[in-house]
Chain A
Amino acid sequence: MDTAQALVMLMQGWGIIGALVAAVFLVIGIDRIDEDAQGAYIFRPLLIPGVLLIWPLVLWRWWQIESDAAAWAARYRPVRASYGPAVVLMSLGIIVIVIAGLSVRQSWPDEIAPVQLSAGADQ
């Protein structure tokens, strides 16, 4: 229970910090780093969920743009090399998990009496 409560509190804390970052970024920061956003306000509420979820990335990129730290050429370098490993890992993972799932299925292939797996969590 303590771990579950801690995780929920962590998520709440993440969201609160994200809300603060969203407020500052969408009111002040976005105008400083993107000329296309200057004078455009209606689309900004659409960005709030994204900032809430990935605010560390937002802060990192904001700092990169403000400090001109990113090399311009990196923007035009597609990440094709990662595609193969990503789809191979996904495919192998799916095959393994489906086989694992079906192998422990109690009603597969024939109906059998269900077995209680554990005594259950303490309430």
Chain B
Amino acid sequence: MSVKYTPVQWNANKWFYDAIMLASVAAFLWVFLYLTPQFDPATNPQIHNARAFGACAFVMLSVILCIGPLARLDRRFLPLLYNRRHFGVMTAFVAMTHAGYILNWYFNFSSSDKYVGLLYANSSFGQIAGFPFEIFGIFALICLLVLAATSHDFWLKFLTPPVWKRLHYLIYAAYFAVAAHISLGILQDQQNHIFTVLFMLGAGAVIVLHIAAWLAERRAPAAAKDGAWHEVAHSSDFKEGFAKIATLPNGDRVAVFLMEGKLSAIANACAHQNGPLGEGKIIDCLVTCPWHGFQYDVRSGRSPAPFTEKVPTYRIRLENGMVEVHPDANPPGTYVEPVEIVSQAPLMGEPA
């Protein structure tokens, strides 16, 4: 959470996460560099290093891309999502090291500038075999650098979460570019088919998980329409401390919470990264975003002092036991009086 920006926000979980990540990267590189036999006698330490860092970057990117859909499909993976930005920044550094080894070996010994040489050495754009696959690597690296360089919380607030998210959709273009870089590059000359199989397993896992997460999200029900007000659910369906999420006609999602027998509605999108607030649980009057732990008072949409984040709130009413929300959002941080449920039957989660 903001208040004043700091370079990096650390806590015990992040130290632990980063330690595991760095140890895994070191272990991968060590195994690749010192335990994997070199099948191609033409390789030298420079090329072997480049391949080790390139393979490591691919594996890291695949793992990063698997974490998102895994967390959507199964909430037990959410802790992996919390600190993913450090993982992403590390991946950009590993990819940059790979590019450095390539540049300083293949393009460093001619009279022309090495960057010009990289762009000029192969211009066979009209064929698949021998296509200048480096161009895909350059594009992917630029994408990874953009994502890493804009990972600080300042960028989220400055660009706004929707713009930031659109920018970070570059990760999908980058992963395709990496797959093209590998398919038209190292796979053309690969003597060891183990990497070919690992590459296809990694890319396959990313594809399957993302398609599964997308299909699961499509199956989520939309709210029924009823004039200006929109039905969310029957009051007896609410569970104390939790929310029901509804999609409004304009595409916005609203989270309606039951807290101490009263209903409150706030935007489902967290002010930080538009995380799903409606999947969070209320503790001490505050709902905690399941993505990064930002907290809001569900009655006002405000983070507790000294934090300053705010989300829009919604008017809410009860009609014959049906909970309805008005689709026009109130400005962020607007207090709305909670609506009490007068029930004959005990609510879900309450003792009978």
Q: Is A112 in contact with chain B by the CB < 8 A criterion?
A: no
Cα(A23)–Cα(B225), bound, Å: 51
CB-based nearest B residue for A99: B183
Q: Which of A1, A54, A91, A95 has the most CB of B within 10 A?
A: A91
Contact A82 B169 (CB under 8 A): yes
Stretch with Cβ within 8 A of A (4 or more), from B17-25, B170-178, B226-234, B337-345: B170-178
Closest beta carbon of chain A to B266's beta carbon, Å: 10
Interface string of A38-62 (1 = CB under 8 A from B): 0110110011011011100110010
Contact B252 A76 (CB under 8 A): yes
Cα(A95)–Cα(B120), bound, Å: 28
Interface string of A93-108 (1 = CB under 8 A from B): 1110110111111110
Contact B152 A90 (CB under 8 A): no
Stretch with Cβ within 8 A of A (4 or more), from B46-54, B97-105, B186-194, B279-287: B186-194
Q: Can you list 18 A-B pairs, Cβ within 8 angstroms, ordered by A?
A: A3-B119, A4-B117, A36-B308, A54-B167, A61-B159, A75-B332, A76-B267, A77-B251, A78-B161, A78-B165, A79-B165, A86-B169, A86-B172, A91-B210, A91-B211, A97-B176, A117-B124, A118-B130
Cα(A46)–Cα(B211), bound, Å: 35
Q: How many residues of A contact B (CB 8 A)?
A: 63
Closest beta carbon of chain B to A76's beta carbon, Å: 5
CB-based closest 3 A-B pairs: A101-B183, A4-B119, A50-B149
Interface string of A57-74 (1 = CB under 8 A from B): 110010001000010111
Q: Is A24 in contact with chain B by the CB < 8 A criterion?
A: no
Contact A34 B154 (CB under 8 A): yes
B residues less than 8 Å from A76 (CB atoms) = 161, 252, 267, 269, 271, 274, 311-312, 329, 332
Given contacts A54-B149, A78-B268, A88-B211, 20 further A-B contacts (CB under 8 A): A8-B119, A36-B3, A36-B157, A57-B167, A70-B160, A72-B331, A74-B162, A78-B253, A79-B162, A79-B166, A91-B211, A93-B179, A94-B175, A97-B176, A98-B179, A100-B183, A101-B184, A101-B188, A106-B129, A117-B130
CB-based nearest B residue for A115: B129
Report if A90-B120 is in contact (Cβ < 8 Å); known contacts: A36-B4, A77-B251: no
B residues less than 8 Å from A118 (CB atoms) = 124, 127, 130
CB-based nearest A residue for B161: A75
Report if A104-B129 is in contact (Cβ < 8 Å); known contacts: A78-B274, A94-B179: yes
Contact A104 B6 (CB under 8 A): no
Cα(A54)–Cα(B155), bound, Å: 11
Closest beta carbon of chain B to A93's beta carbon, Å: 4
Closest beta carbon of chain A to B46's beta carbon, Å: 22
- Residues of B bordering A, CB below 8 Å: 2-7, 112-113, 115-117, 119-124, 127-130, 142, 145-146, 148-150, 152, 154-155, 157-163, 165-167, 169, 172-173, 175-176, 179-180, 182-184, 187-191, 200, 203, 206-207, 210-211, 213-214, 217-218, 251-253, 267-269, 271, 274, 308, 311-312, 329, 331-332
Contact A57 B159 (CB under 8 A): yes
Q: Is A28 in contact with chain B by the CB < 8 A criterion?
A: no
Partner of B154, one of A47, A72, A73, A90: A47
Interface string of A1-27 (1 = CB under 8 A from B): 101110110010000000000000000
Contact A90 B150 (CB under 8 A): no
Cα(A66)–Cα(B200), bound, Å: 48
B residues less than 8 Å from A36 (CB atoms) = 2-5, 154, 157, 308
Contact B4 A90 (CB under 8 A): no
B residues less than 8 Å from A113 (CB atoms) = none
Report if A1-B207 is in contact (Cβ < 8 Å); known contacts: A75-B161, A77-B251: no
Cα(A52)–Cα(B308), bound, Å: 29
A residues less than 8 Å from B148 (CB atoms) = 49
Cα(A51)–Cα(B129), bound, Å: 37
B residues less than 8 Å from A89 (CB atoms) = 172, 176
A residues less than 8 Å from B152 (CB atoms) = 43, 46-47, 50
CB-based nearest A residue for B115: A8
CB-based nearest A residue for B129: A104
Q: Which of B122, B179, B217 has the most CB of A within 10 A?
A: B179
Contact B211 A97 (CB under 8 A): no
Contact A98 B4 (CB under 8 A): no
B residues less than 8 Å from A50 (CB atoms) = 146, 149-150, 152, 155
Cα(A73)–Cα(B312), bound, Å: 8
